[in-house]
Amino acid sequence: MPIIVLRFVKSKRKSGASAPAPEITARMRHGVAGVWQFTTLYAFQGQPDAGFPYGGLAFDTRGNLYGTTYYDGANNLGSIYQLARQPDGTWTETVLYSFKGGRDGSGSISNVVFSKTGGLYGTTSAGGASCDCGTIFKLTATVSGVWKESIVYRFHGAPGGAFAYNGMVGDKAGNFYGTTVHGGAGDDGVIYKFTP
């Protein structure tokens, strides 16, 4: 069953006016002030394409969308993808990196976040160190347009963190913050700060 990326757009209409002609696959009413429109931007195709995205999306400065998937990609261990808007309004999806498992990480369910220098960071829920506790990854665009992935941190479990499911958020100083579901003194998880 295909997984879809969604977009909701609110179109305004005057009270009592007839609704605009359907332009989309589905829609939901939102009070009397307008109609919410549901549009499928892209339907994932499964391996070797991306599939099963659990994390949120992030925009870059050019309006492209980025995210991760838990499964699929070339190795069926998850991927990082880009969705780029075309001049005709359609969106084109590209798998930027397929996780390899082991020390590289796998099974990302995180959002992604950009650094001040344009690096794309996120987490994996598995892989990394010998405990299979997950990683923090960085994706960098090269001058040739190819994206290069590197693991910048491997979680090691208690008393440190393990299994970072939710990605990270950044502050103005360029630090990232996140949580893990395990690790810490009681193995009940930690809140961490990561400085690239």
Name the more confident of 30 and 78: 78
Question: What domain count does the chain have?
Answer: 2
Q: Are residues 27 and 60 located together in one domain of the fold?
A: no
pTM over 0.95: no
> 132 and 126 in contact (C-beta within 8 Å)?
yes
Q: What is the distance between the alpha carbons of residues 2 and 52, in angstroms, rounded to a whole number? A: 9
Would you state the pLDDT for residue 25? 37
Q: Are residues 7 and 82 located together in one domain of the fold?
A: no
Q: What is the pLDDT of residues 180-190, one digit of tens each?
A: 999 999 999 99
Best CA proximity match to 154, nearest among 86, 103, 108: 103
> 73 and 95 in contact (C-beta within 8 Å)?
yes
Q: Are residues 155 and 98 located together in one domain of the fold?
A: yes
> 75 and 95 in contact (C-beta within 8 Å)?
no
> What range defines the domain where residue 8 resides?
1-43
Would you state the pLDDT for residue 33? 63
Would you state the pLDDT for residue 9? 54
Compute the mean pLDDT over every residue in the chain, rounded to the nearest whole number: 86
Name the more confident of 156 and 27: 156
Mean pLDDT of 98-113: 95
Would you state the pLDDT for residue 38? 87
84 torsion bin: left (phi>0), alpha (psi -120 to 50), beta (else): beta
Best CA proximity match to 196, nearest among 162, 173, 163, 166: 173
Which residues in the chain belong to E strands, given as ranges?
4-12, 26-30, 34-43, 50-51, 58-59, 65-69, 71-72, 79-85, 91-98, 113-114, 120-124, 135-141, 147-154, 161-162, 168-170, 176-180, 182-183, 190-194
> 159 and 136 in contact (C-beta within 8 Å)?
no
Name the more confident of 8 and 192: 192
Q: Are residues 70 and 129 located together in one domain of the fold?
A: yes
Q: Are residues 122 and 51 located together in one domain of the fold?
A: yes
Would you state the pLDDT for residue 30? 52
Rg (CA), the chain: 19
Q: Are residues 71 and 134 located together in one domain of the fold?
A: yes
Last residue of a domain, one of 26, 43, 60: 43
Q: Are residues 22 and 77 located together in one domain of the fold?
A: no
Q: Are residues 82 and 172 located together in one domain of the fold?
A: yes
Name the more confident of 16 and 113: 113
Alpha helices in the chain (DSSP H): none
Mean pLDDT of 91-100: 96
Q: Are residues 65 and 144 located together in one domain of the fold?
A: yes
Q: Are residues 28 and 78 located together in one domain of the fold?
A: no
Q: Are residues 105 and 16 located together in one domain of the fold?
A: no
Q: Are residues 112 and 158 located together in one domain of the fold?
A: yes
Q: What percent of the chain has pLDDT over 70?
A: 83
Q: What is the pLDDT of residues 67-83, one digit of tens each?
A: 999 999 999 999 999 99
Of 20-24, 57-61, 72-76, 129-133, the poorest mean pLDDT is in: 20-24
